[in-house]
Amino acid sequence: MKRKIYYPAVFLTILLLMFIAKINAFSKDSETALLKPFRVLVIIGDQWEDPASYMVTRPKPLEKYSGYFTRPEVSGPVDFFHLMVLLKSWAIPFDVIRLDQQFLDRYMFLNMNEEPKYGTIIWDVNQSDKLLHPDYSIIQEMVQDYGIGFIALSDRISPPEIQSVLGLKYAGCWESNKKMEVVSDHFLTKGLNSPFTVDDNISPNYGSGVHMKRQQVEVLDGTFTLVRQGSFPQATAKIFMSGGRTVWIGNDHNNMFYFQDIRTLLRRAITWTIGYNLYKTWENDLIMIMDDPGGAQSVYLEHWHYPELTEDVIEKYLIKPLQEHNAILNINFVAGFVNDKKHMLEPTWKQNFIDEFGTKQDYISGKRGFDKGVELGVFEVMCHGLTHMQPDLVSSPGWYESPLDQERSEVGWYREFGDTRRHKEIPAAEQLWRMKTSKEWITEQFGVTPLEFCAGGNGISISYINNTFKLAGQAGFGWCGWTQGYLGTDMVIVEWEFMGTPESPLFVAAPPDAHDFGITTNPEEFATIFSKYPQGRFMGINEFIGYLHANNSGSWSKEETKLMITVDYDPHYCLYFNNHPSSWSFELSDWLEKKMGKISLIKVDGKAIPSLLSPFNIPVPTGTGKHKVEFVF
């Protein structure tokens, strides 16, 4: 008998088997798919004002009239600037894609083997006609098919494809002074204040007096609300079968990060979307700075005239209280001295003479005192330039051998990287030579390499070609000024934010006036700073720079079923760790712990660490280069 073949039934059976196979394949690889690379991809629109993608600066006003008397001009979008500060402060590894210069491509997210290169995406793409026609469906593919995490900010969610992965329908934004309140008990909201409060150092009227925008969205099925502002969600989350997790954080893009709870929410969103996070925070850390030792202005400038600190003064009034409080003073030293009589530059710390005011200037004695502080670890050496004076002291109106009460009394001569006497910039090549030479001289003088650069008197050049911050980055410094920002080969961030919060140490001036000038007039005042910050840890700036320049990474080892994180310290920027251990916070998301089980063992460079209390503190031994951290579940 001829057998009948029921094609529809066979077809359905095949489909069912294929579906089961797909489910089994997903189940088989789900554990490895859940643990994604420890690296963030930030995607922006046209907010990066530097066409060369090197300098990150506060945005310029948009040349539009706001109509509000408190802020008549419309500010440029500050969200990208804040993101760069936050990610650098936390030392979370990231890359940036800018859609005004780059075409969105799936291989921005995947390697040649079709595997994700990033654990999560931070979406901060503003609406602009400068974007290069991005294909937003690529984002859907990365989240829904490849399980890459996705975090979107504020009003940057207008494309339908972006709303789709968030599970939202976006209506727009209007002003509101309602408080943001936590409405869900979730990993992302654990420990957050409700309502959210603005940082203490912001005006008490902030939030009600600066016309903040509130985003309005409709939450679709499968998306849950974490935070509300009045009746409107302001933080949401969604999970896909691929393992992709998405988070939206609302509020005003120019003001959202002035709320500590939103900053914490962002950092935790990185943890939740990747599954884990290794980061640094800065509770109760302070960086105390003093300027000017070695500067020639103390010899020649009438209103800033004083004797160089001597060995005895340094030991009694600086070293002793620093030792008593286990504190560090970061000092901006000047390497070269301009000899007026010889019309030439000389090394500073070989000078010993009586100046034209009749004051003894014993730089040799001062050097002995500073050397003791460096050796004892209570002074950290930074760079204040080569001379703290104009490169050109000859051209009209001329400084050399001028009367003390005429040209030599003009403060503009005592600015090295911006000609404030003639009101013009210093050429780039001259600045760069002075930066590199001062670093070489200070390294030879004190036996340590300065990683911070500070232009004397904040005299700088600001055009793009002659920009002092950009040049300092090129010269190999890792931080600029007091709070003038991050320097590196990857980028320069001009200015800093969030000082005195978990996101950044607080920068404070050494009493009484942030300069050695004040120590000569009122040395007892210096030690009073410790009673002002009784719980503070006064740290060295090289430690801060070392964390900012760490190049960490992480991945899942399929063969050993371990999470492997590499802590990577550059031998130049992270030189502090040559002689000091370091410590990181490790955070594991709730869903990953539920899936993989609790961590049973953590090894650092092959040695088990004694404590497994969450949140985990990961101690890393001394030494630059790479350190391996293994997590066994």
CA distance 138 to 170: 20
Cis before 51 (ω within 30): no
Query: Rounded distance, CA 276 to CA 270, Å?
Result: 8
Contacts of residue 222, defined as CB under 8 A and 6 or more positions apart, other chains included, come to: 167, 238, 239
Q: What is the mean pLDDT of residues 68-81?
A: 82
What is the pLDDT confidence band of residue 3, given thresholds at 50, 70 and 90? very low
CA angle 316, 319, 325 (to 5 degrees): 115
Domain 38-274: give its CATH architecture: 3-Layer(aba) Sandwich (3.40)
Examine the pLDDT at 137 and tell me if it is beyond 60: yes
Give me the mean pLDDT over the 216-230 stretch: 96
Q: How far is CA 385 from CA 438, 440, 473, 480, 622, in A?
A: 6, 11, 14, 12, 30
- H or E, element range at 434: helix 428-446
- In this prediction the pTM is 0.93
Average pLDDT over residues 438-466: 97
pLDDT at residue 32 in the model? 43
Measure CA 1 to chain center: 79
CATH 3.20.20 domain locations along the chain: 291-540
H or E stretch at 563 = strand 562-569
Provide the pLDDT confidence category of residue 183 given band limits of 50, 70 and 90.
Answer: very high
Q: How far is the C-alpha of 109 from the C-alpha of 145, rounded, in Å?
A: 12
465, with CB counted inside 10 A (0-12, 13-18, 19+), is exposed
* pLDDT at residue 118 greater than cutoff 90: yes
Provide the mean pLDDT of the chain: 92
pLDDT class for 78, splitting at 50, 70, 90?
Answer: very high
**Residues pairing with 552 in the sheet:** none
Burial of 598 (0-12, 13-18, 19+ CB in 10 A): exposed
CA distance 573 to 477: 8
* pLDDT tens string 525-574: 999 999 999 999 999 999 999 999 999 999 877 666 789 999 999 999 99
pLDDT in tens, 585-604: 999 999 998 988 888 899 99
> Crossing angle for the helix pair 79-90 and 260-274, nearest 10 degrees?
70
Give the three-class secondary structure for 615: coil
Q: Which amino acid is at 370?
A: F
**In the chain, ranges of CATH 3.40.50.880 domains:** 38-274
pLDDT of residue 613: 66
Please give the average per-residue pLDDT across 287-306, as a whole number: 95
**Residue 486 burial (CB < 10 Å; 0-12/13-18/19+)?**
buried
% of residues, the chain, pLDDT over 90: 84
Dihedral through CA 172, CA 174, CA 176, CA 181, nearest 10?
10
Q: What is the pLDDT of residue 67?
A: 74
Residue 18: pLDDT band with limits 50, 70, 90: very low
Q: How far, in Å, CA of 236 to CA of 225, rounded?
A: 4
Q: Is 90 exceeded by the pLDDT of residue 9?
A: no
List, as one string, the DSSP characters of 500-557.
TBTTBPEEEEPTTTSBHHHHHH-GGGGGGHHHHSTT-EE--HHHHHHHHT---EEEEE
Dist CA 412 CA 543 (whole Å): 34
- The two beta strands, 537-538 and 285-291, are parallel
Count of CB atoms within 10 A of residue 145's CB? 13
Class of domain 291-540: alpha beta
**465 falls in which pLDDT band (50, 70, 90)?**
very high
The answer to whether 337 and 348 are in contact (CB under 8 A) is: yes
DSSP H/E element including 95? strand 94-98
What is the model's pLDDT at position 555? 86
Give the mean pLDDT of 426-445: 98
DSSP 122-160: EEE----TTS----THHHHHHHHTT--EEEEETT---SH
Report the phi/psi class of residue 423: left, alpha or beta, with left for phi > 0 and alpha for psi in -120 to 50.
left
Q: Return the minimum-mean-pLDDT range out of 18-27, 177-186, 418-427.
A: 18-27
Q: Which residues in 278-291 are b (16+ Cβ under 10 Å) and which e?
A: bbbbbeebbbbbbb
Q: The dihedral of CA 573, 575, 576, 577: what is its sign?
A: positive
Residue with tokens 């994604």: 36
CA 332 to chain CA mean position, Å: 21
Interior CA angle at 353 toward 351 and 356, to 5°? 125
User: From edge to edge, which strands make up the β-sheet containing 276-279?
Assistant: 276-279, 582-588, 616-620
Q: Is 514 left (phi over 0), alpha (psi -120 to 50) or beta?
A: left
467 exposure class (CB count in 10 Å sphere: 0-12, 13-18, 19+): buried
3-state secondary structure of 200: coil
Over residues 340-384, the pLDDT tens digits come to 999 999 999 999 999 999 999 999 999 999 999 999 999 999 999
10: helix, strand or coil: helix
> What's the pLDDT band for 2 if we cut at 50, 70, 90?
very low
CB 309 within 8 A of CB 269: no
Q: How confident is the model over 178-204, as a mean pLDDT?
A: 90
In whole angstroms, what is the distance from residue 348 CA to residue 337 CA?
5
